[in-house]
Amino acid sequence: MLFSCFILSSLCLAFVSAAYTEYVKAQTAPRSQILKRSAFEFIEGTLPIVDLGYAKVQANYYNTGQDFYQWKNIRFAAPPVGENRLKKPQPPVNETAVNDGAVGNQCPQHLPPEFSIANPFISLLIPQSEDCLFLDVAVPGKIVRGESTDPLPILNWIFGGGFVFGAKDFPYSAYPLLKSANNEFIYVAANYRLGALGWLSGPTVNKDAVGNAGLWDQRAALQWIQDYIGLFGGDPNTVTVMGESAGAASIIHHLVSPYPALFHRAILQSPAYLPQYDYGHLETQYVGFRNYAGCTEGGIECLRGLSSDAVIAASADMIKLAPYGTFQFGPARDDDYVPDIPTRRLKDGNVNSGVHIIVSHNSNEGYLFTDPAIITNSQADNLIKKNFPNATSSTLAMIGSLYPAPGLLSRYPSTFERVSGLIGEWIIGCNVRYIAANYPNTYIYQFDVAPGIHGEDILFTFWGTDLLDGLLNDHFGIDLPSGENLATAVQSYLTSFAICGDPNTYRQSGGLPATIKFQQAGSTTGNMKVLNINLLGFSTLSSDPDSPADRCAFWQTGAYAGQSW
């Protein structure tokens, strides 16, 4: 069995809100060349229009309660269909009609068996199509009306969902974060390709197509920000990327890529990814997808000639085969954008420097990905052997000593806790330490609101008094009063960081629970300072319980893979 990541809270929010919502260039150009002045065109009785050159885009709606305009479903790349399938995103084609945002799709997606109950709901409100490379932009009214001419910083949200599920705007809303920031930034969110269509890699794909197309989609959206956000009153030289789970893991891959980062700050919530480095496994994955699609001969060109229905079904068939807690696809070594897995790149210090970072994890990350049927020590040991087939007997013994069987003096009270502890640290918790070791002055927080499972913090990140506040206000003009609480306090740290690079400057004051100073992690050779968040409020820990120095050092050696990194 392999382990991966998933957004539980995305599903929770989707179910809660379903009844209420209808729903590349290599480096940044100098500021003098890139910062275009905002250009809003008003026609009496209509919402503002921005001319991008290749298209005129009109705001989709105006949020009266929060005073911001939102542009929806702007094309940032050509439809990745036919000859563009399994290629890097191509430039968007010219549009003659004004794009009012009414037409847009989420990318094709499918969940593995343990989460399959959600599959019927995925496309209930937003249609799926390969033609899905759209983004949304939310701009404060003061910028649109010209009341403020200073360009605003950008917050670019990258959604999570195990690389097989999710969308830019469902169930996420710009409303709560803009409200927390008092409209002091511009919010951008983009789709990226999912499943096999976004995350194939391996020798054949890397030779005849492109590996990690989803990463290239994200980079294309970031390049779009560099090229066009000035027209919306934004500052392309002050971009914060923010993502959770697969979104945060994507950010890690951008940080360790040899291509220059197109952002300046990053907020990584529970960065979860399964290291995929074995070209044999990746080739087998490609062959399986190709065969399910009916292209046993013809390879990539055959896949490009198929209907969307055929390739979407083949991707779903592959995802159905994913072992418990995994999602089949995700970022993989491709000898280009991802020359090696992040664990090794981070160990060697091969990173884009100069990025300021907040990184976090939840207190029980591994729970969601742990098979409850694994109840005995021998079952757990067999699972470890199965997952690490290249590990030597001495390495397996080391894993056994680092993650001992439950017992009176063991750190784990049950086999479930033992396995979930291993999973949580290997694919999420230790990434926090690796990042902090490469980026001085990193801020770390632990989300410890019970039960502390993966994805739970998203409910707080996009909270708006109750779960429907932002959605109701955005789409029905209903403005619920928002009080200061734990969720709005958490939001204030994040939005303060996006505004000015310091989570403390504009953090919530006067509310309950009271916020405290968010301290930087400091030394990463041993203990690190961590902001702990639980139902009682905030406190500072002297060490991070879920990124222990000894166990994280072991995972970073690569011994589990039969390699030495």
Three-state SS string over 264-295 comes to CEEEEECCCCCCCCCHHHHHHHHHHHHHHCCC
pLDDT of 24 over the 50 cut: no
> Tokens 């593995």 map to which residue?
112
Q: Could you give the CA distance from residue 519 to residue 507 in angstroms, rounded to a whole number? A: 13
Task: Quote the pLDDT of residue 85.
Answer: 98
Task: Quote the pLDDT of residue 15.
Answer: 31
Task: Quote the pLDDT of residue 506.
Answer: 98
> What mean pLDDT comes out for the span 303-328?
96
pLDDT of 479 over the 70 cut: no
Task: Classify residue 290 as left (phi > 0), alpha (psi -120 to 50) or beta.
Answer: alpha
> Tokens 């917050």 map to which residue?
155
Q: What percent of the chain has pLDDT over 90?
A: 80
> What mean pLDDT comes out for the span 44-54?
93
Sequence letter at residue 395: T
pLDDT of 419 over the 80 cut: yes
**What stretches of 2-51 adopt beta strand conformation (E)?**
40-41, 49-51
Q: What is the band of 12 on the pLDDT scale with cuts at 50, 70, 90? A: very low
Tens digits of residue pLDDT in 187-230: 999 999 999 999 999 999 999 999 999 999 999 999 999 999 99
Q: Which two tokens stand for residue 525?
A: 């050779």
Chain centre to alpha carbon of residue 520: 23
Q: Which two tokens stand for residue 204?
A: 């054949």
pLDDT of 38 over the 80 cut: no
Domains in the chain, start-ordered, CATH in brackets? Answer: 8-111+120-282+330-561 (3.40.50.1820)
Q: What is the band of 124 on the pLDDT scale with cuts at 50, 70, 90? A: confident
- How distant, in Å, are the alpha carbons of 6, 101, 365, 408, 559 from that of 555? 21, 46, 17, 26, 7
pLDDT mean across residues, the chain: 90
Task: Quote the pLDDT of residue 408.
Answer: 86
Please name which of 118, 222, 217, 214 lies closest in space to residue 170, comparing C-alpha atoms. 118
CB contact burial 309-324 (16+ within 10 A = b; e otherwise): eebbbbbbbbbeebbb
Q: Could you give the CA distance from residue 279 to residue 297 in angstroms, rounded to a whole number? A: 21
Instruction: DSSP letter for 50, please.
Output: E
**CB under 8 Å to 20, separation ≥6 — which residues?**
468, 471, 472, 475, 476
Instruction: DSSP letter for 378, please.
Output: H
Q: Which DSSP helix (H) or strand (E) runs through 75?
A: strand 68-75
Please name which of 100, 286, 95 lies closest in space to residue 209, comparing C-alpha atoms. 286
> Tokens 């249609």 map to which residue?
127
Q: Could you give the CA distance from residue 460 to residue 346 in angstroms, rounded to a whole number? A: 29
Please name which of 193, 154, 238 lies closest in space to residue 76, comparing C-alpha atoms. 193
pLDDT of 480 over the 50 cut: no
* Phi, psi (deg, nearest 5) at residue 74: -80, 130
Tens digits of residue pLDDT in 507-531: 999 888 999 999 999 977 778 999 9
Chain centre to alpha carbon of residue 147: 34
Is 75 in contact with 99 (CB distance < 8 Å)?
yes
Single pTM value for the model: 0.91
Is 15 in contact with 285 (CB distance < 8 Å)?
no
524 against 426, higher pLDDT: 426
Please name which of 412, 438, 413, 409 lies closest in space to residue 425, comparing C-alpha atoms. 412
Burial class (CB in 10 A: 0-12, 13-18, 19+), 193: buried
Tens digits of residue pLDDT in 439-475: 989 999 999 999 999 999 999 999 875 445 445 454 4
Q: What is the band of 482 on the pLDDT scale with cuts at 50, 70, 90? A: low
Is 164 in contact with 115 (CB distance < 8 Å)?
no
**CB under 8 Å to 557, separation ≥6 — which residues?**
564, 565
> What mean pLDDT comes out for the span 256-260?
98
Q: Could you give the CA distance from residue 326 to residue 318 in angstroms, rounded to a whole number? A: 12
> What mean pLDDT comes out for the span 232-253?
98
pLDDT of 420 over the 80 cut: yes
Exposure on the CB side of residue 224, measured as CA atoms within 13 A: 29
Sequence letter at residue 191: N
Is 322 in contact with 112 (CB distance < 8 Å)?
yes
Task: Quote the pLDDT of residue 57.
Answer: 98
Instruction: DSSP letter for 239, please.
Output: E
Is 473 in contact with 64 (CB distance < 8 Å)?
no
- How distant, in Å, are the alpha carbons of 342, 367, 417, 497 from that of 424? 17, 8, 10, 26
> What mean pLDDT comes out for the span 9-33?
35
